[in-house]
């Protein structure tokens, strides 16, 4: 059986995680994904505000990118420490700040960006939900690039499979596995981007502040919950509550669905 699985497995494209290096300075694909994702967000948000009665100015968008970056980094790292390996970091406090060693949580980064966005909008007197809708429309491409970078790094791979799309990942053992990073890239990134693009440009969704943000949040949560059926759980966590189904990613996505439903159906006069 093992020989059949190996024969049917696709060849993993062994790409060097380091794009290029100058002495001790290395530029990694993963870092580039963050940089390009934020650059795209700035460019796309700048285009979306070129409408009458835009919620903010070009200067606001440029200033916000720094706030978003800090929210992603601080929230993503703190989320990983608290959600995925708290016992280790309680015993090794210094390692909690070693972002360069890897370990970021989308859900933590999402919370960090939410906090940064609320503070930024209050500081600049920008309507929160209209601004959040613009951010939501620009976010999926960054998610897609991040998952592609996970694939290049050979991390966050899926469970073993005999499907023809299975790949043998470095560090993933001898059996083919689902390229779950690519599943997430297509669903959380490519598909979600075009859904929001269509809704923003060809429907009246943008005229109900918070609706597009709610659709983005629910879309991500549903895509993540689905792909977790193929993704290998973290070794030190495994499945939760004695089940062979529920993962940490699914658990953390549940409140996102509730939050997204609130944004979609919230009273129009709600201030938050």
Rg (alpha carbons) of the chain, rounded to whole number: 20
Which one is predicted more confidently, 2 or 257? 257
With a cut of 70, say whether residue 241 has pLDDT above it: yes
Kindly report, residue by residue over 18-33, the tens digit of the pLDDT: 888 887 777 888 889 9
The answer to whether 72 and 121 are in contact (CB under 8 A) is no
Which one is predicted more confidently, 104 or 2? 104
Which one is predicted more confidently, 163 or 267? 163
Adjacent-strand bridge partners of 218: none
| pLDDT reported for residue 102 | 66
Which one is predicted more confidently, 96 or 108? 108
| pLDDT reported for residue 44 | 97
| pLDDT reported for residue 100 | 60
What's the rounded mean pLDDT across residues 55-70?
97
The answer to whether 12 and 154 are in contact (CB under 8 A) is yes
Kindly report, residue by residue over 182-196, the tens digit of the pLDDT: 999 999 999 999 999
With a cut of 80, say whether residue 170 has pLDDT above it: yes
């Amino acid at each position: 059986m093992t020989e059949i699985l190996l024969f049917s497995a696709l060849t993993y494209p062994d790409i060097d995680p380091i794009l290029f290096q100058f002495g001790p300075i290395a530029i990694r694909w993963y870092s580039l994904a963050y940089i390009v994702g934020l650059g795209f967000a700035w460019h796309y948000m700048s285009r979306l505000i070129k409408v009458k009665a835009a919620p903010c100015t070009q200067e606001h968008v440029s200033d916000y990118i720094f706030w978003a970056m800090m929210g992603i980094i601080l929230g993503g790292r703190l989320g990983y420490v608290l959600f995925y390996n708290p016992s280790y970091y309680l015993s090794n406090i210094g390692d909690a700040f070693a972002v360069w060693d890897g370990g970021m949580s989308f859900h933590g980064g999402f919370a960090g960006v939410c906090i940064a966005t609320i503070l930024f909008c209050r500081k600049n007197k920008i309507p929160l939900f209209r601004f959040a809708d613009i951010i939501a429309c620009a976010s999926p491409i960054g998610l897609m690039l991040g998952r592609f970078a996970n694939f290049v790094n050979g991390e966050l791979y899926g469970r073993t499979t005999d499907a023809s799309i299975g790949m043998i990942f470095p560090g993933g053992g001898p059996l083919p596995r689902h390229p779950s990073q690519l599943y997430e890239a297509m669903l959380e990134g490519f598909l979600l981007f075009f859904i929001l693009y269509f809704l923003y440009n060809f429907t009246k969704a943008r005229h109900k502040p918070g609706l597009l943000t709610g659709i983005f949040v629910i879309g991500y949560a549903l895509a993540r919950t689905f792909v977790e059926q193929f993704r290998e759980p973290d070794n030190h966590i495994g499945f939760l509550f004695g089940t062979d189904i529920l993962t940490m990613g699914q658990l953390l996505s549940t409140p996102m669905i509730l939050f997204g439903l609130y944004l979609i159906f919230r009273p129009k006069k709600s201030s938050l």
